[in-house]
Amino acid sequence: MSVLKLKLDQEQLVEDFFEDTWLAGIMSPARDYQLCWQINQQLGYDLRVNNLLEIKLTKNRRSFYFTVFEYLEPTKSAAHYLYNNHCKAEFLLPELKHVDYIWLIKGNYYQAADVKNLVEQCRKAGLVQLVTLLDMKDIKNKINLIF
């Protein structure tokens, strides 16, 4: 009897997950919950930690857990995810070691001008040092962002 093996098409998975998304990198010395509180105050959001979305990476037989905060905009069919980019000297996206947090905006509501406005508003939060839009082509480890 032959065994049928199914292989997950990771390229298609990444393409589907990142359809209608925007990515921004945030630099901040603050703890994740402090940063989220300030972003919530500045943008009127309700970012909250979602333990079900926590990302686990295993390297050299050690496990690293990266928290993910989530806010679903009820009237805009958009979701906001704030990923912690580092955990115990490991990085979720090693190619972005200078970035402390990754902000993913998912949904087709936001256009380029809207995202630029959100980034500008986020920059005004007291604990935010820098916010920059990221080019998806520059990110090699996109699969790490998929929950």
CATH number for the domain that contains residue 25: 3.30.310
The per-residue pLDDT for 7 is: 63
Answer whether residue 1 shows pLDDT above 80: no
Q: What is the number of structural domains in the chain?
A: 1
Does 107 have pLDDT greater than 70? yes
pLDDT digits (tens, 9 = 90+) for 85-105: 999 889 999 999 999 999 999
Query: Over 70: is that where the pLDDT of 32 sits?
Result: yes
* Sequence letter at residue 81: Y
Quick one: average pLDDT of 22-35? 96
Answer whether residue 3 is part of any domain: no
For residue 42, being part of any structural domain is answered with yes
**What confidence tens digit (pLDDT) does each residue in 41-80 have?**
999 999 999 999 999 999 889 999 999 999 999 888 899 9
Q: Tell me, what's the pLDDT at 11?
A: 79
Q: Is residue 103 part of a domain?
A: yes
Residue 70 domain boundaries: 20-145
Residues 6+ apart with CB under 8 A from 127: 28, 29, 30, 34, 35, 38
Is position 122 within any domain? Answer: yes
Residue 2 has pLDDT above 90, yes or no: no
The answer to whether residue 12 is domain-embedded is no
Chain centre distance of CA 85: 8
Pairing, β 86-87 against β 68-73: unpaired
